[in-house]
Structure 1
Amino acid sequence: MLILAIDVSKSSLDFFSNFIGSGSVKNSPQGIFDLFSKASSCSNDFILVLESTGIYSFDVASYFYNNSIKVFFVKPDNLKSYRKLLNRPKTDKIDAQLIFDIALKLPDSLIPFVPYSEIITELRYLTRLYLKLNEDIARLKLRLYSYVSLYFPDLDFKLNKTFSSLLKDFTIEDIAKKPINELFEYIASVSKHRVSAHTLAQKLKDLSKNALRLRPNPSNSLRLSIISTLELINTYEKQIKSIKSEISKLIKRIPNTLTTVNGIGDITAAGIIAEIGDINRFKNASSLASYAGLTWSIHQSGNFIAQDTFLKKNGNKYLRTYLVLAANSLRIHNPIFKEYYRKKYKESYNHHHMRALILSARKLVNLVFYLLKNNVPYVPMK
């Protein structure tokens, strides 16, 4: 079997083969073309094997595939384990040879490359960006709460329009000096009478006076940090709203039955489908679970088998995240998953919620595999 193995980086393609030798070309359209020309001039009956490195490996994999070459990915954790087993350092040239060895000795471990449609590719970009922006906004909110606690001690701050407007429009000194009736009218107007304006106005007056006794000159830098962070959060929320709208449009163009499950919406379904791609790449639900990193380590000694084992987390982190998000929704909206979660919660020795949730996500993999494989709507068991 003729094999061309490539270690992909942002700038280069280091290759090793048993028919054109080894070397390196630039990871660019010209470099990919040159490598393909060199390989195809010797043979058209070879396979390309490379490590999946996201956007950096997509172009070279697509080009060879579109020119009738079979393309496979080696799992990053397999490469890492093989390198450790052989006690090899990590370098691009050595990794290319290790990829070649894995392809030659462990061909069943390879994952066939399937070209994603434009919609799937766009969904992957958007759903990953959606997760990233949500992570960023969560960090911003934590930072905001720490700023507020330092600037306005004892304030029971809530991230809503009322409190945000108050902190943007008034300093602590302004709140302390402002007549109670004017503060009441302001809160009633901003909150649209959704909060007890009189109670909140009086509480703010008392807290502001206490804060000024503690620190007669509140930090202007802290207030500026609060206002800037509030504006950043508002910007992120607008971006997330726009991204969600685009994801919902795209997922409706892909025939799927995941959204027939009560608790799985457009965004979650899109995230799962974008990371899986073609379900036919996976032989069964177990291989899909392994790809998502929803497998557990085994700790056994003699007749003892540990119950408290760890999730390996060496698969596709984006797919795992969306499966966990979906499982968290299903434990509320789906009676079967609700009961399963409750059962696993009681069985757990510690970290009850997280263990029950991860196990629910693993159960969900079976359902996802079945629905996508058979393209049938979800029918709840009675």
Structure 2
Amino acid sequence: MKLFVGIDVSSEELEACLMNPEGDTLETVKVKNDLHGASHLRDRIIAVSDKLSSSEIHIGLEATSVYSWHPAMFLHEDESLRKRKTKVFTINPKLIHKFREAYADLDKTDRIDAWIIADRLRFGRLTTTIVMQEQYLALQRLTRMRFHLVHNLTREKQYFLQNLFYKCNAFRSEVDSSVFGHAIMEMLSEKYSLDEMANMEVADLADYLKEKGKNRFPDPEHVALCIQKAARASYRLSKVVENSIDIVLGTSIQSIRSIQAQLKELDKAIARILEGISDAKCLRSIPGIDLVYAAGILAEIGDIERFSDQAAVAKYAGLTWRKHQSGSFEAEDTKRIRSGNRFLRYYLVEAANSVKNRDPEFGEYYRKKYKEVSKHQHKRALVLTARKLVRLVDALLRNDQLYTPRRKVKNTGE
């Protein structure tokens, strides 16, 4: 006999419903969402479990941002609960919301929410538990922070380019060198006016670019000429507007450099953790998967044994398409599911984009899918390539195997 415990989580409280396999409520418990409250809840769960002589305990919580993480990990790691064969599930809120629709006459309260979660546990078919080892959790915090910073960096660069257009609208059309190179960023941060850039000696501007760029420009004189051409072709601003734009550009440059420095520190920390995870070697043996992609994928998957097969991994990542079939009819145009772990999906898609450029098999598959349709070709082909990558990732991790393109790896299910 199993004991089912549904927990509704808020920032301040945990509302729990303990239910038997017949759907009868055995007890309700309301405690604070802190260590003392969780300890009391654990004691009540153990007491009811022992009285019921349950063979297993299934505990479910909605994945409510950071609020459910501490109680879920506390209940998962508690030794007394482990002895009673306890499984802890963090459930997608969308799944609970859909399940609730079957009970149209119920009110919306914390106690009822806990009852709904417990009842959903009773129906089963929840394959992914909270189980993740500490190194994966530590890695996940780093890779998710990196995800956050990368998106911030993209937004900051877009904002920088918008303001650069005010200062020198012809810059991007005339200068073929990267705006975000160190030398050009230095030049823009020093607040040269357009007239100053246009009237500088080409040799002096080229020497400046060579010095700031640490001799990385293959043809600094050509870049200097392009910059001067852009400066002469751009609209002129009034002094007051130009001063404001210079301040904004300087601030934006500082933000970009700060984020880039933070990314370097994160990458060092990620590398240190990856050294202690043997699975990283399996993923990095795939051409195109570097340290960051391997870390991002491993951080979200954790132990591959949490998943029954590669299809479960794909569903967890949101790389699954719904079937639409009725009688003899089956729709050809199907949509990808809207749920799933967006971080895992991001790293898989980015990794697939890199792998297709380095591995012939994946490159051929991408091109095949690209040619199949006339709309959204790249996006569709890339997501399908990511789905193919899931099968490879699952096989390598499950078999503790390095990737060898000439030899087919053992696949654990289609």
**Equivalence for 2:98:** 81
1:241-270 CA-partner distances (Å, limit 9, x unpaired): 111121112112111122222222222112
**Equivalence for 1:324:** 349
1:110-125 to 2 correspondence within 5 Å? 110-114=127-131, 116-125=132-141
CA contact (8 A) 1:294 1:313 kept: no
Q: Quote the offset at 1:316 in angstroms.
A: 1.0
Q: C-alpha distance in 1, partners of 2:355/2:381?
A: 12
Amino acid at match of 2:15: D
Q: Quote the offset at 1:196 in angstroms.
A: 3.6
1:112-147 CA-partner distances (Å, limit 9, x unpaired): 332x33211110101111111111101111111111
Change (3 A) 1:122 1:205: same
Q: 1:376 aligns with which of 392, 401, 410?
A: 401
Gaps of 5+ in 1: none
What is the aligned-residue RMSD (CA, Å)? 2.4
Q: 2:167 aligns with which of 140, 147, 151?
A: 151
Q: C-alpha distance in 2, partners of 1:150/1:300?
A: 54
1:10-89 to 2 correspondence within 5 Å? 10-18=11-19, 20-44=26-50, 45=54, 46-53=57-64, 55-65=66-76, 66=78, 67-69=80-82, 70-73=86-89, 74-87=91-104
CA contact (8 A) 1:327 1:361 kept: yes
**Equivalence for 1:227:** 250
Query: What secondary structure sits across from 2:88 in the alignment?
Result: strand
Q: C-alpha distance in 2, partners of 1:294/1:90?
A: 32
1:308-357 CA-partner distances (Å, limit 9, x unpaired): 32221301111111111111111011111111111111113411111111
Change (3 A) 1:42 1:349: same
Q: C-alpha distance in 2, partners of 1:91/1:348?
A: 48
User: More displaced, 132-141 or 363-372?
Assistant: 363-372
Change (3 A) 1:311 1:202: same
Query: What secondary structure sits across from 2:30 in the alignment?
Result: strand
1:232-251 to 2 correspondence within 5 Å? 232-251=255-274
**Equivalence for 2:193:** 171
User: More displaced, 160-169 or 8-17?
Assistant: 8-17
Change (3 A) 1:32 1:363: same
Change (3 A) 1:193 1:346: closer
**Equivalence for 1:271:** 296
Residue 204 in 1 paired to residue 227 in 2? yes
Change (3 A) 1:352 1:189: same
Q: 1:129 aligns with which of 145, 148, 151?
A: 145
Q: C-alpha distance in 2, partners of 1:76/1:239?
A: 33
Change (3 A) 1:35 1:193: closer
Q: C-alpha distance in 1, partners of 2:302/2:150?
A: 23
Q: Quote the offset at 1:50 in angstroms.
A: 1.8
Query: What secondary structure sits across from 1:234 in the alignment?
Result: helix
Q: C-alpha distance in 1, partners of 2:145/2:318?
A: 20
Q: C-alpha distance in 2, partners of 1:113/1:200?
A: 54
TM-score scaled by length of structure 2: 0.84
Amino acid at match of 1:124: Q
TM-score scaled by length of structure 1: 0.91
Gaps of 5+ in 2: 20-24, 408-414
Matched residue count: 379
Change (3 A) 1:118 1:111: closer
Change (3 A) 1:379 1:89: farther
User: More displaced, 89-98 or 320-329?
Assistant: 89-98
Q: C-alpha distance in 1, partners of 2:334/2:268?
A: 40
Q: Quote the offset at 1:223 in angstroms.
A: 1.4
- Structure with bigger helix share is 1
Q: C-alpha distance in 1, partners of 2:108/2:385?
A: 36
Q: Quote the offset at 1:109 in angstroms.
A: 2.6
Q: Quote the offset at 1:98 in angstroms.
A: 1.3
Amino acid at match of 1:251: L
Query: What secondary structure sits across from 1:25 in the alignment?
Result: strand
1:262-317 CA-partner distances (Å, limit 9, x unpaired): 22222211211111112112111111111111111334466554333222130111
Q: Quote the offset at 1:24 in angstroms.
A: 2.5
Q: Quote the offset at 1:181 in angstroms.
A: 4.6
CA contact (8 A) 2:317 2:341 kept: yes
User: More displaced, 94-103 or 141-150?
Assistant: 94-103
Query: What secondary structure sits across from 1:378 in the alignment?
Result: coil
Change (3 A) 1:204 1:291: closer
Percent sequence identity over aligned pairs: 32
User: More displaced, 325-334 or 43-52?
Assistant: 43-52
**Equivalence for 2:410:** none
Residue 2 in 1 paired to residue 3 in 2? yes
Change (3 A) 1:71 1:150: same
